[in-house]
Amino acid sequence: MGHSVISPAIFYWGIGRPCDNSQRRRKPNIAPMSSAWWLGNRAVLGLGRSSQTTANIIRSRQCVLNLPSDDMVQSVNALARTTGTKDVPAFNAERGYRYEKDKFGIAGLTPVSANLVQPPWDPGVSDGPVELQGCLVAIEVKIVKTHVVDELRLPGYANRIDPDKWKPIIMSFQNFYGLKDGKPADSTLAKIDEESYRV
């Protein structure tokens, strides 16, 4: 899959399930994140604070984000519950995580060298449609209370959301989409020229 360098004025890719590529001891690592969302040319990454991926990014202060398309679900699923850490932490082992030396291989993905972030062994993935090279900038908020309408609660559970009832709006390049075919409504923001956001 060939890639071209572009310079989008905005990065509203929609809330998806990106894969983060970083390096640990000069070896490439890839891990699916729970989510990422976008503001201007910034990405807020959904990573656990105790994960190896988080440690890699904090140490190197950079990473490559790969945004898989919906036809790459098998690759993302193959990475789920894997870790590049030989001594799997107890909290991960309890969740069924296992050590995997070649995470790219089990996912059927091909690492490629990044050309901007340093060191050059922070890999991208040649198989995915979007690769974003980035440097660390951080803001973090700890959620201390959550309010939801009762209709969203999963019956039989005190603190769970029914994913069949939660239908978030996804904004992808200023246009609204939902978890059903098509757009639920036109976006007012989509009437604004994307280039007007360029910094």
pLDDT of residue 155: 92
Counting Cα atoms < 13 Å in the Cβ hemisphere of 69 gives 7
Per-residue pLDDT band for 197 (boundaries 50, 70, 90) equals low
Determine how β-strand 123-125 pairs with β-strand 111-113: antiparallel
pLDDT of residue 98: 92
CA–CA gap between residue 24 and residue 84 (Å, rounded) = 9
CA–CA gap between residue 89 and residue 109 (Å, rounded) = 25
pLDDT, mean of residues 63-83: 82
Report residue 71: phi and psi, to 5°.
-90, 5
8-state DSSP, 101: S
pLDDT of residue 121: 44
Query: Is the torsion defined by CA of 155, 157, 162, 168 positive or negative?
Result: positive
pLDDT of residue 106: 93
Write down all domains in the chain, each with its CATH number in brackets.
Answer: 19-135 (2.30.110.10), 145-186 (no CATH)
pTM of the predicted model over 0.85: no
Q: Percent of the chain at pLDDT above 90?
A: 6
8-state DSSP, 184: S
For residue 129, whether the previous peptide bond is cis, meaning omega lies within 30 degrees of 0, is: no
Token reading at 77: 């699923």
Q: Is 116's pLDDT higher than 80? A: no
pLDDT digit string, tens, across residues 9-30: 777 776 666 677 776 666 778 8
Q: Is 185's pLDDT higher than 60? A: yes
Q: Look at 127 and 160; give whichever has higher pLDDT.
A: 160
pLDDT, mean of residues 183-193: 66
Q: Is 72 helix (H, G, I), strand (E, B) or coil?
A: helix
pLDDT of residue 99: 94
Q: Is 34's pLDDT higher than 50? A: yes
